[in-house]
Structure 1
């Protein structure tokens, strides 16, 4: 059995079990085969179109785990197309930190010519092999250091960078200036060599600090979540276009759809805090999605959707009526109770299981679950929070629709 045949036949098997059976397949390059099987299994989840393409070669495990998923890569393609139209310039782009090439394979589709730059020679060979299989014939692969290449590149419509977010010891970095390459240091060159630059950054990064560090050149901030988890922070830089900073909070549900998108300009007025939480008039409680939570745009959200915060630090919102297209989840509040033992006993009658979340509350989820003696799961949702007056309350709810 050849290595290629082994990969095709066993690609759905557990790689740990396959590694133990290596002696049964002396003609198989087992390390390579296991890398390809593991890569395909990850791609089936993150990159189904790639997994369905025969002949694609996958890189080692770390590159597969760090690469973009199809939904986030598609989002970047849409963004690149919008900005290419805005700046109205000859369509040419360069990805200075190509990696496995997922983002490049999508964003390059917005341009007539595209250059992939990567200093890792192995990744360059892999991408050079994969791009034609994926139907991309407008691309040039260059094995070079990003900083050195930037000094020689001709003016582009778009430059794309995904700077490495680990230091020389492998520890994660959370400051923009600590990433490699240092985007802050490269800023003058990036602005000179592109009509707009797209930066892909860690969702752990403080986007306010990043915007400040980039000295008024950021036109858009995009906070992108998938399936309720914040995945990427995208910044669009340009001096060709003068505009107010806008923040886009996107929660993606599938490879092609945006389930919710909230856009705002920072600096809106603060909404009125809700002070009628104890009333039992079928209120709804709304929980913002992960992108909203990362953006911290709670005042702007409240004003845009006519909802009121439970308190300044609760990050939960109330309304008397349903709110269509709220960027997050909505629940009907069936009961509200304090932590008084008697009240709790009455409020929890018939509830054996519940999903519990704490927002600005002195107990952790585990501690509260132990005190309530309720198992995890079911269709009841309990939000534990603190009012403006400092009272600890539980909102016992069920999903709206």
Structure 2
């Protein structure tokens, strides 16, 4: 990269890349395709990886790799998990990331080990990571350009192996089965267990974690479902034969503000079903909406038992309580009114409400259809939950956020 191109990137990195592309003729000495990639990469990093964005000289990969890489909160979560497991197995000497990619997860998890190896078959990514690691202060790392499966057969036993299998087939379609990812973790399972004290798998949140656990034949010790900003981002599985323990599921909801982060841990099948709540319009109650990780886990009976809340019905995934529930992993609301879909009741219940945030759970109408019927605009501080009780009655819970 020439000095002219480097200076252009520094000077214009906060500009709109589309406008810069249109002005390319003004800068004949600038490698414009490279400069635009770096400016766009920095702009994404400023949002997803602020520590990387603050580091001068870091080279960013093409747009797709930047969009698909981990964010700083999820990478930090994996570092904490790696440290906990290294302590658990009494060993923190070495780790190998077999599917290195842009190296975000590697740059974090490698900090838990005395030595770390990054493996990636894409030569361009290897060159980028080899350039970036020293700038990020990582001096315990070795970069290897190799195929993951071939390298696994030769690697010495490690404390941790890390894999993030590709989730698309040869036609570019998203895969929904663990065995369809590349490399095939199910086929590699014996070798992974032989070569590590524990293995961490990063998977798509779209995968069925129950099926993945079954496919991995009793080797999974922990399932971590990680959400950021209300969206489920990652599914992490920790495999080990060194540690014998019953399966635990961790539902983590991360936030930039630590006081709003939450973690719910449970053992699958540990709780009996909780009876549905019988809503009464005359009672003031609280309604609770689980976070995205809880929704993905499907641990509604365990949640109800742990927090003493009652489900509206088996398929509504909304919970009620007579009193506030501190620390509930999700959002809590004060129910101000409850109404059926009867026109007269609706008219009375909606008096003074011109705007509201509407959510439908186990309800015959979509949000758009219900909003049209209610003639209410989007927004404001009122929240309407449209749901169906265990008795089949369609109700609207008109609420406001608790605290």
CA displacement at 1:257 relative to structure 2: 6.9
- Are the equivalent residues in 1 in contact too, given 2:226–2:234 (CA < 8 A)? yes
Structure 1 residue 254 displacement after superposition: 1.6
TM-score (norm 1): 0.99
Question: Quick check: 2:223–2:237 contact (8 Å CA) kept in 1?
Answer: yes
Unaligned 5+ segments in structure 2 are none
CA distance, structure 2, for counterparts of residue 65 and residue 299 of structure 1: 35
Q: Could you list the per-position Cα deviations for residues 185-241 of structure 1 after superposition, in whole angstroms to 9, with x for gaps in the alignment?
A: 000000000000000000000000000000000000000000000000000000000
Q: Does the CA contact (< 8 Å) of 2:277 and 2:320 recur in 1?
A: no
> Does the Cα contact within 8 Å between 2:276 and 2:310 map onto a contact in 1?
yes
Distance of 1:242 and 1:190 partners within structure 2 = 16
CA contact (8 A) 1:273 1:310 kept: no
1:137 paired to 2:174: no
Greater shift, 312-321 or 1-10, is seen at 1-10
Q: CA deviation at 1:91?
A: 1.7
In the aligned structure 2, how far is the partner of 1:90 from the partner of 1:44? 31
Matches of 2:179 and 2:138, distance apart in 1: 33
Check whether the contact 2:224–2:236 (CA below 8 A) recurs between aligned residues: yes
User: What is the distance in 2 between the residues matched to 1:272 and 1:207?
Assistant: 23
Query: How many pairs align?
Result: 401
CA contact (8 A) 2:203 2:235 kept: yes
Counterpart-to-counterpart distance in 2, 1:176 and 1:89 = 28
Q: Does the CA-based 8 Å contact 2:274-2:301 persist in structure 1?
A: no
Query: Cα 1:257–1:320, aligned 2, differ >3 Å: closer, same or farther?
Result: closer
Q: 1:138 to 1:34 in 2, by over 3 A?
A: same
C-alpha deviation, 1:271, in angstroms: 3.6
Unaligned runs of 5+ in 1: none
The residue that corresponds to 2:123 in the other structure is: 121
Distance 2:344 2:300 in 1: 34
- Does the residue aligned with 1:198 lie in a helix, a strand or coil? strand
Q: Deviations over 1:27-72 (max 9, x none)?
A: 0000000000000000000000000000000000010000000000
Q: Do 1:287 and 1:317's aligned partners in 2 also have CA atoms closer than 8 Å?
A: yes
| CA positional deviation for 1:169 | 1.1
Decide whether aligned partners of structure 1 residues 99 and 252 sit closer, same or farther in structure 2, where only a CA change above 3 A counts. same
Residue by residue over 1:268-324, the C-alpha shift from the partner in whole angstroms, topping out at 9 and shown as x without a partner, is 333433342124322000000000000000000000000000000000000000000
SS at match of 2:258: coil
Instruction: State the secondary structure of the residue aligned to 1:269.
Output: coil
Measured after TM superposition, the shift of residue 255 of structure 1 is 7.9
Give the distance between the partners of 2:134 and 2:336, measured in 1 at CA.
57
Which of 159, 167, 170 is 1:168 aligned to?
Answer: 170
**Other structure's SS at 2:261 match:** strand
